[in-house]
Structure 1
Amino acid sequence: MTTDELIAVLRLQNIPNIGDVTAKKLISHCGSPTAVFSDTLKNLLKIDGIGTLTIKGLHDAEHLEAAEKEVQYILDHEIAYTYFTDNEYPRYLKHCIDSPLILFKKGNIDLEERKIISIVGTRNITSYGMAFCEQLIEDLAPLDPIIVSGFAYGVDICAQKTALKHGLQTIGCLAHGLNQMYPKVHAMYVYEVQKNGGFMTEFWSSSNPDRENFLKRNRIIAGMSEATVVVESAEKGGSLVTADIANSYDREVFAVPGRAQDKYSSGCNNLIKQQKAHMITSAADLIYLLDWELDQKETKVIQQQLFVELDNIEKTIYTYLQKEGKQLLDTIALDCQLPIFKVSSTLLNMEMKGIVRPLPGKLFEVV
């Protein structure tokens, strides 16, 4: 992208009544960002959905001056960026109608042919939420997914620190420019994140972490990924907005269930109750629903991790079902030489752990 084109893109970003959807419409009609500013108003008004209010201020000097100033900052600080038609633009986000025209980035981000999930939740993470988040990422680590979050307090930083611990790439989507870091206390993690992942934002260097920016940022978190996992949330919260956006993009949403009386499980429980999210109790749920394939080595590692959590009877049944495929309750009891009542209660426990699932006709199979 030339400097003139970059200036034109930022000019469009800076005009109040022109959002990402309208800007893309203008660019598509005119052929390029610079062409939008050389076309006549008469021709622009012929575009479906474009009115005089929309393009009011298109040629105001203040937008050009602001764009030129920001481009100078980008050049002076060697800020990397990707335009929405570029090959390196996040492929899942590219399919979202309201995705940003341009993303600024910092670090060593490699999105090519990678599994990507977003993990979000309350800033007031509990020990339950932290334990689940850490275990989920540990169990997913053999698949080498990219972990996307918002680099905020609570679930966000827990997910990103755990990703780094297991050598996974992690991306923080920011609600401000790359010239600052919010919250400041997380500055200690910036170097490690940039070394194995990085940061992305649509916001200029002049943008502060204002509340509306966080809500706007959430669509990037939801759009970048194959799925969004909500670990913990109160009845209202930004992570629920992210979940709603992910649903609008037709992406899978997962929510971690909690006790009915727990404040920071109420949001997740409601998502599940309202069928806006799949219940997730282990990494196996996500792997199955996203149809992520494992090679032999990955399967072995996950089995080893899984077996640490199983008692001897559960291990026997799991190994049997994995070898034989779906089987009747009576057949499992007979072949494993276990009492039916014991197999029945064990299968229920394994179902709650997300390891097996029941099928019609009293059949069971490994997830």
Structure 2
Amino acid sequence: MLLSTEDDRISTLALVHTPGVGAVTIRQLISYCGGAANVYKSDFKKLIKIPGIGDKVVREILKKDKIAFAEKELEDCEKQGGRLHFYTDGDYPSRLKTLYDAPVVLYSQGNFSYNMQRTLGIVGTRQISEYGKSVTEAIIKELVPYKPLVVSGLAYGVDITAHRACLKNEIPTIGVMAGGLNAIYPAAHKKTSREMMESGGLVTENAMATKPEFMRFPARNRIIAGLSDVTIVVESAAKGGSLITAEFAQNYHREVFAVPGSLNSPHSEGCNQLIRDQKAIIFTSVKDMAASIGWHLNENADDRNLTESSTSAPPSFEGFTLDEGQVLSLLKKNGPMQVDELSWQSGMHFNKLANLLLNLEFQGMVRSLPGKKYSLM
């Protein structure tokens, strides 16, 4: 359901900032009421009948005290040159739409598209070593021909090293924040964040003035993982936010790579552990990683698009069932797609789609790629 009216957008934003009302609950409310504005037009008796909506949540909604807050948020975001992306908007990140815990609304500032052909997350320790710094800078430099959008967290260490290397190499990069757009953290990175605005920018799910409290960082990490086709952990201690990001990426069926390090270095303990436990692929080079995940360069392609060699397809899909033709058409249009996204765009149940893809693979029409992706042969 599109949030076609201003009332719906304001009402959705109000629900997002209502205590105790999460993303799953909001989708449930909007679905049952036929729109976010209708949620606030409903009475207690109607709302309490909605599955999964308890007494406490209903009473919070009926206070309606977040409507004025949402109106001011929209105004403040616009004044600052920011944008709001609602989960039904066309510019909402397609990589997040199929995730059960995706934010209902994202705030952004800058100049970029979430839906670039390739996205890559780079995360790591705040206590970066010289080894980690040189590896991060080398990775970014090697990424130039692939033209990805690089996602990180604007934090000290690996994050800011990646952002600054992207600026140097003219690769678009976005920083996902644990606070609001008016609360850049750390403050020492404000200058870099401004430089990122020309080709990249900032992203958050938090209200404009939200302070980056500790509890918000794991939620921030899930967005980094969700926006990225592949995540590289450069350096990490045995415990840390980078490992949380890696875990989210695994849960989202995205590929994770880890840079190996010295057995004597505490900065590499987490990466070595990921590789040992087979929770990440050992990172050796961008070229090897690209081959593993199906990022193929077409040297004859122009700057607008680096096509996948697998996206060439016959002009029609005669002789296939309606469902098969729909899937083949989606793959022809979009290039390699994850199973979750294929399921969402086609409207097919996951089990039905899995069987259909297996049959198409047997027929030599599609091939499976790492990270639960499929492409045309």
TM-score normalised according to structure 1 size: 0.77
Question: Which of 15, 24, 34 pairs up with 1:31?
Answer: 34
1:207 is aligned to 210
Instruction: Provide the rounded CA distance (Å) in 2 between the counterparts of 1:135 and 1:233.
Output: 18
Which has the larger displacement, 36-45 or 83-92? 36-45
Question: Which of 131, 135, 151 pairs up with 1:132?
Answer: 135
2:55 is aligned to 52
Tell me if structure 1 keeps the 8 A contact 2:123–2:158: yes
Report the CA distance between 1:297 and its aligned residue: 5.6
Aligned residues: 298
Question: Which of 232, 243, 262 pairs up with 1:229?
Answer: 232
Instruction: Provide the rounded CA distance (Å) in 2 between the counterparts of 1:271 and 1:280.
Output: 11
1:257 aligns with 2:279: no
TM-score normalised according to structure 2 size: 0.75
Question: Which of 156, 181, 188 pairs up with 1:185?
Answer: 188
Which has the larger displacement, 139-148 or 21-30? 21-30
Tell me if structure 2 keeps the 8 A contact 1:124–1:154: yes
User: Which amino acid counterpart does residue 218 of structure 1 have in structure 2?
Assistant: N
1:115 is aligned to 118
Tell me if structure 1 keeps the 8 A contact 2:151–2:228: yes
1:287 aligns with 2:290: yes
Tell me if structure 2 keeps the 8 A contact 1:17–1:55: no
Tell me if structure 1 keeps the 8 A contact 2:23–2:102: yes
CA RMSD of aligned residues (A): 1.7
Runs of 4+ in 1 over 4 A off after TM superposition: none
Tell me if structure 1 keeps the 8 A contact 2:183–2:212: no
Which secondary structure does the structure 2 equivalent of 1:53 belong to?
A: helix
Instruction: Provide the rounded CA distance (Å) in 2 between the counterparts of 1:253 and 1:181.
Output: 28
Q: What percent of counterpart residues are identical?
A: 42
Residues 1:70 and 1:189: Cα distance change in structure 2 (over 3 Å):
same
Report the CA distance between 1:184 and its aligned residue: 1.1
Which secondary structure does the structure 1 equivalent of 2:257 belong to?
A: strand
Matched ranges for 1:242-321 at <5 A: 242-296=245-299
2:76 is aligned to 73
User: Which amino acid counterpart does residue 117 of structure 2 have in structure 1?
Assistant: R
Tell me if structure 2 keeps the 8 A contact 1:6–1:71: no
Report the CA distance between 1:3 and its aligned residue: 3.2
User: Which amino acid counterpart does residue 222 of structure 1 have in structure 2?
Assistant: A
User: Which amino acid counterpart does residue 202 of structure 1 have in structure 2?
Assistant: E
Tell me if structure 2 keeps the 8 A contact 1:118–1:221: yes
Report the CA distance between 1:200 and its aligned residue: 0.9
1:99 aligns with 2:102: yes
1:12 is aligned to 15
1:238 is aligned to 241
Tell me if structure 1 keeps the 8 A contact 2:231–2:249: yes
Query: For residues 177-205 of structure 1, what are the alpha-carbon distances to aligned partners after superposition, in whole Å with 9 as ceiling and x for unaligned?
Result: 11231111111212320001111111112
Report the CA distance between 1:247 and its aligned residue: 0.9
Tell me if structure 2 keeps the 8 A contact 1:255–1:269: yes
Which has the larger displacement, 247-256 or 103-112? 103-112
1:358 is aligned to none
Question: Which of 74, 89, 92 pairs up with 2:92?
Answer: 89
Report the CA distance between 1:78 and its aligned residue: 4.2
Report the CA distance between 1:75 and its aligned residue: 4.0
Report the CA distance between 1:133 and its aligned residue: 1.1
Report the CA distance between 1:119 and its aligned residue: 0.3
Tell me if structure 1 keeps the 8 A contact 2:235–2:267: yes
Report the CA distance between 1:287 and its aligned residue: 0.4
Instruction: Provide the rounded CA distance (Å) in 2 between the counterparts of 1:285 and 1:95.
Output: 28
Instruction: Provide the rounded CA distance (Å) in 2 between the counterparts of 1:87 and 1:65.
Output: 26
Instruction: Provide the rounded CA distance (Å) in 1 between the counterparts of 2:263 and 2:30.
Output: 49
Instruction: Provide the rounded CA distance (Å) in 2 between the counterparts of 1:106 and 1:206.
Output: 14
User: Which amino acid counterpart does residue 208 of structure 1 have in structure 2?
Assistant: K
Instruction: Provide the rounded CA distance (Å) in 1 between the counterparts of 2:159 and 2:39.
Output: 39
